[in-house]
Amino acid sequence: MLKARIVTALFLFAAFFCALFYFPPAGWLGFSALVAVLAFWEWGGLMRLPASGRCVMGAASLVVMILMTWFFPEALGLSGGAVGKLWSLGRWLYLPSAVFWLCVAPLWLKCKWSVSHPLVGCVVGALVILPAWLALVQLRQLGAGQLLAIMGVVWLADIAAYFSGRALGRHKLAPGISPGKTWEGAVGGVVAVIVYGFLFASRLPETLSGNSLLLFCGLVLITMVSVVGDLFESLLKRQVGLKDSSSLLPGHGGVLDRIDSLTSTLPLVALFWFGTSV
C-alpha cells in the first residue's frame, strides 16, 4: 500500500506540475475539465447512483463545460480578455458557491442531512464541482505560480492540522463525521496559514496586501472553509458507507478525496480576487 501511495503521488505531482506550468490555456482547460468529469463521476457514487447514472453525470458535466467554453471563451482564457470578462461568467458560479459553503454547508454538517433525491444531489454536485473547475481555470490566468501559491494555502492547512492534531490533539472537532480531526489541529492549521499568508502577502491583490486586518480575517476564513469542505465530503462518504470516493488513485482514494478542500476554497478566492478587481 505504501509503495502504491508513493508511486501514485509522484505520478500525480508530475502530471499536475507539467499541466500547470507547461500546458497552454486550452491544455490546462482540458486538464481541469478531466479532473472535474472524474469528480462528477465519483459524486454520482456518493449519491448512490448506478454505474450508468454515474457515467451520465460525468458526460452531462462535460457537455456543460463545453457549452461554457463555447459561449465564454474569453472568460476561460482562450482569447485574452480583461478581468471583467472573467467576472462576467464567474459571478454566476462563485456567488452561489459562496452562499453554499458559508451558509448551507455548516448547517448541513450540524444537522447531518442526507440527499434524499438524485436531482437534489445533482444540484449540490454542480454547486460543489463546477465553481471549483472554473476557479482552477481562471486563477491560472493570474500565473501558474500564483495558482500554486493559492493551492498551497489549502495544502499547508491540511498538513499543519494533521501534525498539530497528532502532537496536541485532545478535543474532537467532529467525532461523528471525521474522528481524526481535532480543534487543536484546526488551530494549528490556522496559525500556519496566517504565517504563510503574511509571508506571501506581496503576491496578493492590493486590497488584501494593504490591509493587515482584512488579510488576517481572509486567511482565517479560507482555512475554516477548507475544513468545512473536507468534513462535507467525509459526511457524504460516511452516509453511504464509503472510505474513499473511489479507487481511481491507488493508495489515495479518489479525485474528490484529493480536492475536497479545494472545492470549497478556490471559488471563494476567485470571488474575492476577481470581484474586487472589476
- Which pLDDT belongs to residue 1? 56
Cell numbers at 86, concatenated: 472573467
Q: What is the dihedral of CA 132, 28, 270, 149, to 10 degrees?
A: 110
- Find the domain containing 102 and state its range: 2-275
What is the tally of structural domains in the chain?
1
pTM of the model: 0.93
Q: Amino acid identity, residue 151?
A: M
pLDDT at 208: 64
What are the grid coordinates assigned to 245, written together? Answer: 470516493
Mean pLDDT of the chain, nearest integer: 89
Q: How is residue 163 written as a grid cell?
A: 501534525
**266 confidence band (pLDDT: 50, 70, 90):** very high
How many other C-beta atoms can be found within 10 angstroms of the C-beta atom of residue 55?
14
89 pLDDT band (50/70/90 cuts)?
confident
Q: Rounded to an integer, what distance in angstroms lies between the CA atom of residue 193 and that of residue 204?
A: 14
Contact 47, 76 (CB under 8 A): no
Q: Cα angle vertex 220, ends 196, 256, to 5°? A: 85
pLDDT in tens, 21-74: 999 999 999 999 999 999 999 999 999 999 999 999 999 999 999 999 999 998
**Closest of 98, 85, 101 to residue 138, by C-alpha:** 85
The type of residue at 238 is R
Cell of 34: 478531466
Tell me the per-residue pLDDT of 110-145, one tens digit each, with 9 for 90 and over: 999 998 888 899 999 999 999 999 999 999 988 898
Q: What share of the chain is helix, strand, coil (3-state, %, to 5)?
A: 80, 5, 20
